[in-house]
Amino acid sequence: MVDFDGFKHIIDVMGGIDVNVEKHMEDECWLNDTGWCVIEPGRQYMTAGDAFWYVRARKNTSDFDRNRRQQEVIKAMVSKALRPSELPNLPRVIQAVSETVETNMKMSDLLLYALPLSKFIKGPDITNFQITPNEAVPGMTDGGASVLYPDINAIQAIIRQALWIE
């Protein structure tokens, strides 16, 4: 787990990140005098503040879209951290992660798993999976709230694909 300040601190230590933005997005923000931010598809450099707004914006988007944007940012962070050109900054990034991320794994364990995997991670080749509205069934609670119930069969198919079972 990492809190908001820790998330921003890690990106600051990384010197910002280049995010491959999939879709046009605009929403309220605190980053400029207009109170409104717009980001276009393509490779976009983001500071910690930009990335924080991008992953948290929620007025004009869905939870599913926010999940996709969060995955884009995590992918950008991992991709940058594992670039050979970033090797001189790696100790600072590791320190920032160890200071801000709460986990039951030791840093040595994280490195043990992450470094061998780095040979398989080459920027956009990182594969990610997500649950979309296609894997949910609209419904209503007894209290009248609109909700999405999981489509268990559809979600299991994604899990099988992610775990290379199919």
Question: How far apart (Å, rounded) are the C-alpha atoms in residues 136 and 144?
Answer: 18
Q: Integer distance in angstroms from the first to the last C-alpha of the chain?
A: 31
SS3 77: helix
Question: φ and ψ at 46, to 5 degrees?
Answer: -130, 135
Q: What is the pTM assigned to this prediction?
A: 0.80
What pLDDT score does 115 carry?
61
Sequence-distant (6+) residues with CB within 8 A of 132 are: 64
Angle made by CA atoms 79, 113, 160, in degrees to the nearest 5: 80
Domains along the chain? 4-122 (3.40.630.190), 129-166 (no CATH)
Q: Mind listing the pLDDT tens digit for each residue in 129-146? A: 888 889 999 999 999 999
Residue 86 exposure: Cα atoms within 13 Å on the Cβ side: 19
The two counts, helices (H) then strands (E), for the chain are 6, 6
Q: Mind listing the pLDDT tens digit for each residue in 47-90? A: 999 999 999 999 888 889 999 999 999 999 988 988 889 989 98
What pLDDT score does 117 carry?
59
